[in-house]
Amino acid sequence: MPFDDPIIIIGAGPTGLTAALALGLAGLPVMVLEAEPGLTHDLRAGSFHPPTIEMLTALGVGDAMHATGIQVPIWQVRDRVEGVVAEFDLGLIADETPYPYRLHLEQHRLTPMLLDRLQEAAPTVEVRFNAPVESVAIEDDGVAVSVGGGEPAALRGSWVIGGDGARSVVRKAIGTSFDGFTWPERFLVASTTHDLGQHGFAGAGYIADPDDWAAVFKVPDEGPPGLWRIAYPTDPEIPEAEVLDQEAIQPRLAKILEHVPGKPDRFELKYASTYRVHQRVAGRFFQGRAIIAGDAAHINNPLGGFGLNGSVQDAVNLSAKLVEIWNGADAEPLLDLYDRQRRPINIKAVQAMSIRNKKMIEERDPEVRRQRLAELAETAKDPVKAKAYLMNSSMINSVREAASIT
Ligand SMILES: Cc1cc2nc3c(=O)[nH]c(=O)nc-3n(C[C@H](O)[C@H](O)[C@H](O)COP(=O)(O)OP(=O)(O)OC[C@H]3O[C@@H](n4cnc5c(N)ncnc54)[C@H](O)[C@@H]3O)c2cc1C
């Protein structure tokens, strides 16, 4: 074995488990350390774009994802008052990908699929729960990782991958910045069993309004017809318990859907949670034997569904390079290439598109709003322009552009 110690991955989220699977399928020894007692179940990302579906299919979880996920070939931009403004059909990119749709599947349904696949096909990977990492020290020939919690341990890894989310201890060990900003509002995501499809909603939609803008997504439930997730902004000054109160959520949903014919008087709610949203990218993605990926490396608002996808794409890109390094290739140029392929693209594509999407649907100036929505409607109607738009929004262009950087 070229290295004495395993590759340590901190975090059993989508980034950590995807990297573990890619490395494990190549036969590399991996130890995943997860702070929580099991996989996390909170409401987070739930939309997979075509390149990410291709990558996860190559890792052997595509069938499971399709068995549970909902294929969404069309998405809409709507004005809260006037209804549908633009409709984009991913059928226009059917010659570019075998998966011309968004696959809606919440990440808490993906991570058990990744874990099952690890157990079935990657015997060199060990996943430890209840293993909160307290510190990481980067050494010349490896990393020292200190685990706290009920079973403290001092571990050595040949490399460490920080798949440990926005507050990454690995990013802190690298000592890099996490530049960007935090949006002032807090997002609330609520899911309802009321089927918005019956009111003409496509499986994914963005509702534009200066105050009551929202994102609407259909996601799988325990059985048909699925759940509808509605995310909208809330005032961060209002205590969380108050914004999460059913009686506060009902009027907000009623307002967002005020002009939808036939909407119910009351929505049956299944879940609700709130979260703060940031736009930040780390100053560098590696230092010596420590590397970051996913939310540890970059975070963005959810409008466009890029966070989870970018995280999986990082994990796949990085793992391929670590396999080469494990097999004798020079580490520094390959990790530098990982940084150059993934960092600028995140700033240029993910950060730019997610900020643009948010600004478009929350625009306060009626004239600017009218003009932006009219431009989008025109783009959606023209198949050439619509395809070009979809190549960006579905992340095909950014993945291809990253791959072309040598
Ligand atoms: C509330 C919320 C809602 C979101 N909604 C959307 C959305 O609608 N659309 C979208 O595209 N994106 C969304 N995102 C972003 C998306 O969920 C993330 O991009 C994605 O989870 C990144 O995966 P990850 O594995 O890098 O990080 P995470 O999913 O955060 O996983 C990190 C894992 O590391 C573990 N961990 C952390 N620190 C340690 C430690 N010191 N030791 C051991 N383990 C540790 C955590 O317990 C966790 O399991 C949302 C994020 C949040 C927080």
* Residue 364 exposed, middle or buried by CB count within 10 Å (0-12, 13-18, 19+): exposed
For position 1, what pLDDT does the model report?
58
Residue 10: what pLDDT? 98
Q: Residue 263: its pLDDT value, please? A: 87
CA 45, 46, 51, 52 dihedral sign is positive
* C-alpha–C-alpha distance, residues 240 and 386, integer Å: 40
Residue nearest to atom 4 of ligand 1 (CA): 44
Q: Provide CB contacts within 8 A for 198, sequence distance 6+.
A: 262
CB of 354 within 6 A of ligand 1: the answer is no
In a domain, 234, yes or no: no
Q: Which residues of the chain have pLDDT under 50?
A: none
The tokens describing 180, both together, are: 């960007």
- For residue 90, the domain's CATH number is 3.50.50.60
Residue 223 lies inside a defined structural domain of this protein: no
Q: Establish if 213 belongs to a structural domain.
A: no
Q: Using a 6 Å cutoff on CB, does residue 10 contact ligand 1?
A: yes
Report the separation in Å between the CA atom of 145 and the middle of ligand 1, taken as the mean of its atom positions: 21
Evaluate whether residue 265 is within a structural domain: no
Does the beta carbon of 311 lie inside 6 Å of ligand 1? yes
Q: State which of 308, 317, 319, 357 you would mutate to test the pocket of ligand 1, scoring each by most atoms of that ligand within 8 A of its C-beta.
A: 308
Instruction: For residue 158, give its domain range.
Output: 7-179+279-404
Any atom of ligand 1 within 6 Å of the Cβ of 302: yes
- Domain assignment present for 159: yes
Distance 88 CA to ligand 1 centre (A): 28
Rounded Cα–Cα distance for residues 242 and 370 (Å): 34
| Residue bearing tokens 């349904």 | 109
What is the rounded distance in angstroms from the CA atom of residue 74 to the CA atom of residue 348? 25
Q: Is residue 201 part of a domain?
A: no
Please indicate, yes or no, if residue 105 is contained in any of the structural domains.
yes
259: how many CB neighbours lie within 10 A of its CB?
13
Does the beta carbon of 272 lie inside 6 Å of ligand 1?
no
Number of the ligand 1 atom closest to the C-alpha atom of 168: 38
Let me know: does 310 contact 323? Beta carbons within 8 Å: no
Q: How far apart are CA 324 and CA 343, in angstroms?
A: 20
16 touches ligand 1 (CB under 6 Å): yes
165 φψ region: left (φ > 0), alpha (ψ -120 to 50), beta (else): left
Which amino acid is it at 207? I
Q: Using CA atoms, how far apart are residues 55 and 46, in angstroms rounded to an integer?
A: 16
Q: How far is the CA of 166 from the centre of ligand 1 (A)?
A: 7
> Which residue lies with its CA nearest to atom 39 of ligand 1?
164
Going from the Cα of 13 to the center of ligand 1, the distance in angstroms, rounded, reads 6
289 CB contacts (<8 Å, ≥6 apart)? 138, 139, 141, 142, 143, 157, 158, 159, 160
Nearest alpha-carbon partner for 101 in 77, 64, 66, 72:
72
CB 315 within 8 A of CB 296: no
295 lines ligand 1 (CB under 6 A): yes
Other CB atoms within 10 A of residue 357 CB: 21
Considering the domain boundaries, does residue 310 fall inside one? yes
* Whether residue 308 has its Cβ less than 6 Å from ligand 1: yes
The predicted pLDDT at position 297 comes to 98
Phi, psi of 73 (to 5 degrees): -80, -15
DSSP codes joined into one string, 301-354: -STTS-HHHHHHHHHHHHHHHHHHHHTT--HHHHHHHHHHHHHHHIIIIIIHHH
Q: What is the pLDDT of residues 33-69, one digit of tens each?
A: 999 999 998 888 999 999 999 999 999 999 999 999 9
Angle (nearest 5°) at CA 342 between 333 and 400? 105
CA of 150 to the centre of ligand 1 (A): 23
pTM over 0.85, yes/no: yes
Ligand 1 in reach of 12 Cβ (< 6 A): yes
Cβ of 129 closer than 6 Å to ligand 1, yes or no, is no
Q: How many domains does the chain contain in total?
A: 1
**pLDDT attached to residue 262:** 87
306 lines ligand 1 (CB under 6 A): yes
Is 126 buried (19+), middle (13-18) or exposed (0-12) by CB count in 10 A?
A: middle
The alpha carbon of 343 and the centre of ligand 1 are apart by a number of angstroms equal to 18
- Cα of 82 from ligand 1 centre, angstroms: 35
